[in-house]
């Protein structure tokens, strides 16, 4: 069974950084593109970006490219999202997803507030 | 970026009736390979989005045949026949032809 479990969320102060993790299991992690999507409270889905199997190609939504960094560790079957210079607009549930196959994690909440 | 625009439903929808959700893209999603790069998702209350339809009209594994997708290069419809309680939630279309991938704003389905 494909399983994606996000962690690392919580309350963070404005201007600070936070790194989310997504632990993958039940499939060959290094065979798939992986990505992140977020959802602000009461709002729709926003695609953040995707990374290919060997990390040689990473695509971002332009508005987040300078503050978010996607990476992966194939040996640890883990996907990461490094977020910097966080503001209240980054308060959201963050989902990791196996690209193109419809498998999503349950999401992790990030709240940016002083 | 490709802009995805979704229509609203005349909520609430009576149980057992059909419902059609529309989605429009600012650019054709029809690739030269003949495939249309459009997904449909359902997000039930409190849950992660679930993939319903990919390639505009192919049902994902385990998805009820009450769900069907159709359309052209820029105009798409998700039809739900005989709406049930488990269909309640927000439906999203998404294009995966180009980066950045973009979602529609969502269409809420409520049951009467």
Mean pLDDT score, B39-68: 97
List CB contacts (< 8 A) between A50 and chain B: 99, 101
Below-70 pLDDT ranges, chain A? none
pLDDT of res. A3: 97
Which residue among B1, B50, B92 sits closest to A44, beta carbon to beta carbon?
B92
With a pLDDT cut of 90, the percent of chain B lying above it is 97
- What is the pLDDT at residue B46? 95
Confidence (pLDDT) at A100: 83
The C-alpha angle A91, A79, A37, rounded to 5 degrees, equals 40
B54 contacts in chain A (CB < 8 Å): 100, 102
Question: pLDDT band at B10, cuts 50/70/90?
Answer: confident
Strand partners, A78: A23, A73
What are residue A93's phi and psi, to 5 degrees? -90, 130
pLDDT of residue B20: 97
Average pLDDT of chain B to the nearest whole number: 96
Contact assignment for B96 to A105 by CB distance below 8 Å: no
Average pLDDT over residues B5-23: 94
- E runs forming strands in chain B: 4-6, 19-25, 38-43, 50-54, 58-59, 67-71, 75-80, 89-95, 102-103, 107-109
CA angle A107, A109, A114 (to 5 degrees): 165
Say what the pLDDT of residue A104 is: 96
Q: Is A44 within 8 Å of B103 when comparing Cβ atoms?
A: yes
For residue B12, say if its preceding peptide bond is cis, omega within 30 degrees of 0.
yes
Determine the pLDDT at residue A101: 83
């Amino acid at each position: 069974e494909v399983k994606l479990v996000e962690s690392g969320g919580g309350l963070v102060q404005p201007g600070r950084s936070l790194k989310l993790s997504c632990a993958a299991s039940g499939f060959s992690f290094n065979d798939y593109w992986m990505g992140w999507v977020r959802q602000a409270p009461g709002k729709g889905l926003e695609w953040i970006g995707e990374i290919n199997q060997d990390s040689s190609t990473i695509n971002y939504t332009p508005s987040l490219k300078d503050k978010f960094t996607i990476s992966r560790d194939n040996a640890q079957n883990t996907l990461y999202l490094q977020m910097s210079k966080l503001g209240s607009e980054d308060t959201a549930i963050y989902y990791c997803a196996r690209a193109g196959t419809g498998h999503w994690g349950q999401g992790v909440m990030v709240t940016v507030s002083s | 970026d490709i802009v995805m625009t979704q229509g609203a439903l005349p909520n609430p929808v009576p149980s057992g009736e059909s419902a059609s959700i529309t989605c429009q893209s600012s650019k054709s999603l029809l690739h030269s390979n003949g495939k249309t790069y459009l997904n449909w998702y359902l997000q039930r209350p409190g849950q992660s989005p679930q993939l319903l339809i990919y390639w505009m009209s192919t049902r994902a594994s385990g998805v009820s045949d009450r769900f069907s997708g159709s359309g052209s290069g820029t105009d798409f419809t998700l039809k739900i026949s005989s709406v049930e309680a488990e269909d309640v939630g927000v439906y999203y279309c998404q294009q995966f032809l180009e980066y950045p991938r973009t979602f529609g704003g969502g269409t809420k389905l409520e049951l009467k």
